[in-house]
A and B are shown apart, each in its own frame.
Chain A
Amino acid sequence: MVSSSVASSTLPPPLKESGQREVFCGLTSIVWLHRRMPDAFFLVVGSRTCAHLIQSAAGVMIFAEPRFGTAILGERDLAGLADANEELDRLVAQLLERRPEIRTLFLVGSCPSEVIKLDLAKASERLNQQHAGRVTVINYTGSGIETTFTQGEDSALQALVPLMPKSDQPQLLIAGTLADAVEDRLVGLFQKLGIERVASLPPRRSTELPAVGPGTQLLLAQPYLSGTARALVDRGASLIEAPYPFGVEGSRDWMAAAARACGVDQAQIDAVLDPLVERGRRALAPHREVLEGKRLFLLPDSQLEPALARFLARECGMELVEVGTPYLDRQLMAEELARLPEGTQLSEGQHVDNQLQRVREARPDLVVCGLGLANPLEAEGMATKWSIELVFSPIHGIDQAGDLAELFARPLRRRGALQFS
């Protein structure tokens, strides 16, 4: 059985560094959340920098009917010449007039709005009264000073938790954004296992929030949901301890843990999952050939790093040089840490220049890093895999294990394929 294969690994203490951090702020999460919940609008209250960030990150998508925007603070707002609350009310009214079909409006806090202590919680309460019955207004922070990249999703989902209806009914609740096709597949498999009620947070429509209560078994699909998990547990949900559903092994353990928590017997679990495992391994095999024995260095970005490192080491045979993560929640990461190879060097936080120094000294075969570093490292002769893609690709589940491995094998294959002499 899988759980017995979990090594109680001994890891050296993580390297804790502080210095320049080359990461996104939580506002970036808007780029995928607006697609998950098309009936929501994300209004950032911030500066021109915030607006510039989102349009640079969202690239070409900005031009469809906009689902996000920025209320840019001006000098009058800072000098107190304009009442920021009145200004916000005016802009929201203007926005809702233009986009009457919006059902949920997220007021997203930024560094400037937090530094000047603009109370967006109060503003959303007030706006909720003004537009009652038409639109729900909630607020969360996506600021760089508080959140790193995917933590923006954590903070958005956490803001949704109080609005979830209460229910004691037994159910499995999957938290964390999944690609639609992956979600359908996983829900289908859970139903095959005999779990009738499976709900997702975030839902596809912001108005169709799942219920939560003492009957809820909470299964995290993403490792960056510390705040959301706590808030759901506070509402009575029980947190299932599992690794994250990356790769064949992680996904099987994840599904099996959920099934056990929902009272499914072991024979049923094996009957449903074992054929998938066999097929998943077959899909992995060609990629493993490329990746096996290659040395991997992951820079901090999304908190997906420990789980991905575990998959790449155990299932693809890669050697881990350093596994960076912007933030390490030891409780939520416990099952992953236990599966990491002995001696794996983790690092939490970042001093990017020092870390790049370590990258250069180690000369790994593949560096997982952000787009600010990828081309410069390629130019230094190192193969890179840009990490943001992992948040935008369907990578969860046994059936996606081959695709996930392919994302890492592709840059290595490409390097092998290109010839200029």
Chain B
Amino acid sequence: MELTLWTYEGPPHVGAMRIAASMEGVHYVLHAPQGDTYADLLFTMIERRDRRPPVTYTTFQARDLGGDTAELVKRSIADAVERFQPEALLVGESCTAELIQDQPGALAAGMDLGGIPMVNLELPAYSKKENWGAAETFYQLVRNLLKPQLPAPGAPKLDPTRWRAENRRPRVNLLGPSLLGFRCRDDVRELTQLLAGYGIDVTVVAPLGARPADLLRIPTADANLNLYPEVSGSVCSWLERQFGLPAVKTVPIGIGATVDFLRELHGVLGLELPAELQAERQSRLPWYSRSVDSTYLTGKRVFVFADGTHAIAAARIASRELGFEVVGLGTYSREMAREVRALAAELGLEALITDDYLAVEAAMAEAAPELVLGTQMERHSAKRLGVPCAVISSPLHVQDVPARYAPQMGWEGANVIFDSWVHPLMMGLEEHLIGMFRHDFEFVDGHRSHLGDGAPAAPAVEEPAPVAVAVAGGSLSWSADGEAELAKIPFFVRGKVRKNTEAYAREQGLAVIDSEALYEAKAHFSR
């Protein structure tokens, strides 16, 4: 058993629902107890969809357990096929149904479904999670549908440069975008435009908006874009293995990553990349970030925690394109742990690979950042710690499915990222003035007047620290004069200064920290 106050991912059948609900013409029969229909709300409320997810639940109750639940499954399958006339059917179990082992997939296989393809989903609910469930479902569905098209063993693989011989524009599939993914709707639009600018067409976007018939056209493309590896990673590597369809692995979030992505894609397709990419003219981020107004962003301490894809992208943008210092990097996507670890090592950090909300909160408090880039959960632990925060990844809430155009990918995505990451920080002038004059009645410590909130969020930053000292430091304490000096440090770096000073005092064997010790520590760490 594992004590969980908050889970970064739902169970794997929610991942399967994401695939079914993202697509058209696919129906999902889910063997699940009454109550599991709560998951419909993720789509009707958070994604604000105008129709019910294409999911039929068996919703068994205790009294059904005495009877024939297998019969209930068969009835639900038959009803769903008749009522919704899907082009493909997914059949699977939720965690409770997994325990009673009715084998709904096997039951469906024995039924006359009028010839529609049926995919039996085996999603181990007690060991796997949502993204794994989505990736597995997408993979099984594609594999199932493309089975008849599999090239004979030994047959030559597809040539990604054949578009030239066929005298047409090169074309690619966009794989991975799905409902409940972060900003997928607008990422697809942004990328489609971007590709069009380079003369590249889009064959299939999947799962978002695709029908089973569209999946059948996947092999007609020249390459796949593996846009959300958490969802499309396994399908892309299968297509590469079986059909020789190469996958472009760079995810184009950020200026540098978009440039790398274009390079990789052009390389794969055998296309000449225009020598002058003009990235700086395509997106405003580079100029905004270079302009003097952004100078004060230099070295701002940032803590990043997200799914693997977005964590990697964010760390790169933060450190190279915005000039922040990344002081913490982690992910809950264990499948992406290796890549995140490698990037963390490059940044001189140890990656935090965990799905334990409390461990993330503790690491955040320890790193004492000035900005948190995270998920919906980090937004709130950041609030508790009084640190500004922006959301960069799922899990998300309704405010991160906005009405306006808000991609993360490509040139416009970088514009959106600049605005939304800088917005929560205190503006430059206010930051200077609060550092100068600390006795104002309105612009008090921790106040960010451009956010329009009256009360400062700062005090929470301070409270955990004395406890930490008592635990970690043993005899270490602050003198009144030391505390007074600490209070003069601008609030957003105060946590870090406190930690540095304590570390310095311990190193020097000091028992009491006074104002002099604080300045000593400041000089010591100012390399």
Contact = CB atoms under 8 A, between A and B. Distances in A.
Interface of A: 19-28, 45, 47-49, 51-53, 55-57, 59-60, 62-63, 66, 68-75, 77-78, 82, 84, 87-88, 90-91, 94-95, 111-112, 114-116, 143-146, 148, 353, 370-376, 378-379
A48 B79 contact: no
Interface stretch (B45-53, B114-122, B233-241): B45-53
Given A72-B2, A77-B1, A20 B56 contact: yes
A22 B96 contact: no
B94 interface: yes
A235 B169 CA distance: 81
Most buried by A among B49, B126, B383, B384: B126
Interface string B70-98: 00000010010001000000000011100
Contact of A47 (B38, B76, B83, B96): B96
Contact of B7 (A55, A144, A371): A55
Nearest to A43: B3
Contacts of B13: 49
B3 A94 contact: yes
A56 B41 contact: yes
A63 B96 contact: no
A82 B41 contact: no
Given A47-B126, A379-B51, A20 B35 contact: no
Interface in B1-28: 1-7, 9-11, 13-14
Nearest to B52: A376
Interface of B: 1-7, 9-11, 13-14, 33-42, 44-45, 48-52, 56-62, 64-65, 76, 79, 83, 94-96, 99-100, 124-127, 129, 377, 380-381, 383-384, 397
A375 B129 contact: no
Given A48-B11, A49-B10, A49-B95, A146 B1 contact: no
Given A143-B33, A145-B62, A372 B96 contact: no
Contacts of B50: 375-376, 378-379
Given A52-B7, A91-B1, A145 B61 contact: yes
A290 B124 CA distance: 51
B377 A116 contact: no
The 7 closest A-B pairs by CB, nearest first: A25-B35, A144-B35, A63-B380, A372-B40, A379-B50, A47-B95, A111-B96
Contact of B35 (A53, A70, A75, A87): A53
A48 B10 contact: yes
Contacts of B52: 372-373, 376
Contacts of A49: 10-11, 13-14, 36, 94-96, 125
Given A71-B1, A71-B3, A87-B1, A372 B76 contact: no
14 contacts: A20-B56, A21-B34, A48-B4, A49-B10, A49-B14, A66-B6, A111-B96, A112-B96, A115-B65, A115-B96, A143-B35, A372-B37, A375-B48, A379-B51
A66 B5 CA distance: 7
Contacts of B37: 20-23, 372
Contacts of A47: 11, 95-96, 125-126
Nearest to A61: B380
B365 to A, nearest CB: 15
A372 B42 CA distance: 8
Contacts of B99: 78, 112, 115-116
A264 B40 CA distance: 50
Contacts of A114: 62
Most buried by B among A21, A51, A53, A372: A372
Contacts of B49: 375-376
A389 to B, nearest CB: 13
Contact of A111 (B33, B39, B42, B45): B33
A23 B59 CA distance: 9
A379 B48 CA distance: 11
